[in-house]
Amino acid sequence: MNTPTVIHIVGARPQFIKLSPVAEAFKRCGIPYKVVHTGQHYDHAMSDVHFDTLGIDPPDYHLGVGSSSHAKQTARMLEAVEEILAAEKPCLVLVYGDTNSTLAGALCAVKLGIPVGHVEAGVRSFDRNMPEEVNRVVTDHVAAYHFCPTENAVALLEKEGITGIFTGDVMYDALNRFSRVHISHPYAPPFVLTTVHRAENTDQRERFLGIWKALEKLSQDIPVIFPVHPRTKNLFPDLLIRSAKSGLRVIEPVSYLAMLAMIRDASCVLTDSGGVQKEAFLLKTPCVTVRDTTEWPETIDAGANVLVEPDPAKIHQAVMEMTGRTGFTAGNPFGDGNASDHITRFIREHIV
């Protein structure tokens, strides 16, 4: 009789980060597992390099799905993942976060009668225009087990008739693990670190240009470092030319460890990334989020993060006001730093 196996399905940089401490916990607990990498992030700087950086074993399956429309990308994943799950017959499929890989993995598993565990369940921005919001809501409503990063996520699931399990946030686990490693970067403070890649900001040219004008204005007051996501670079190929004229420092994506060091040392972070909002909070760096909503209201409540619309003057004002701010509300809503162990223990006791 084969030993029950858990399949982890990942496909994007934040999911590799979340997988890292969970995979380590599985090894410590002796739970057999395999990893499926959908290839949603196909650029080397956003994909395979992180398996090396994070110390994750190479994936057992690499689907190489690549970029496309949401429908085509998800359809390709569904077809490929179904074959793997049908052959492997795992006792559980674990999916992470809110990407198309999350959705495809969850749908495939539930259609085959395989229970799904959702790591980072219950998170809500309440903006159904965000593809990520649709992915996380659907995944939660087909999953059997819901591993929640905050008590707020548990409460939000309860309102939807779903019982969540508060484990804490596995990204906090990863940050704790790697922040103990000596990490550095070549940029001297003070500087503002910015990342922009969400569809709501990059699919609407005028919205993105509002952010860009704010970055140009900010760079006159404080150095601005902008690691450009491949998606953003593909949509705005003239970025490097513009940055040379504006004084912005546009760079290629950096490793997870380098990014942590840059967030840690930044005077302020300007982002539209959910993960970066959390990392800035945990590293005690003030954050300005160019979004209409956030899935991490805990960071707003703590005074560590503010939302701002893509208006150059408003962004500039928000960043200058937040730069160097200290004295966030005490307490950490993201658990005790052992979320991976809590998840693994639950799986060992109730599933495997």
For residue 193, the surrounding DSSP H or E stretch is: strand 192-195
Q: Which two tokens stand for residue 136?
A: 């996380």
Pairwise CA distance, residues 252 & 1, whole Å: 48
Q: With bands split at pLDDT 50, 70 and 90, how would you rate the model's confidence at 70?
A: confident
Residue 281: the pLDDT is 95
pLDDT tens-digit profile of 278-298? 999 999 999 999 999 999 999
Burial 60-93 (b: 16+ CB within 10 A, else e): ebbbebeeeeeeebbebbbebbbebbeebebbbb
Query: Has residue 3 got a pLDDT over 80?
Result: no
Phi, psi of 36 (to 5 degrees): -110, 120
Domain with CATH 3.40.50.2000 in the chain: 6-169+335-350, 192-322
Q: What is the CATH number of domain 192-322?
A: 3.40.50.2000
Is 182 annotated in the active site?
no
Does the predicted TM-score (pTM) go above 0.85? yes
Give which of 290, 315, 286, 279 is closest to 302, Cα–Cα. 286
Catalytic residue among 41, 118, 146, 197: 197
- For the chain, the distance separating the N- and C-terminal CA atoms, rounded to the nearest angstrom, is 14
Give which of 99, 149, 139, 88 is closest to 117, Cα–Cα. 139
Q: Where are the beta strands (DSSP E) in 74-160?
A: 92-96, 116-119, 145-148
**What is the mean pLDDT of the segment spanning 328-350?**
94
Q: What is the CATH class of 6-169+335-350?
A: alpha beta
Q: What is the mean pLDDT of the chain?
A: 91
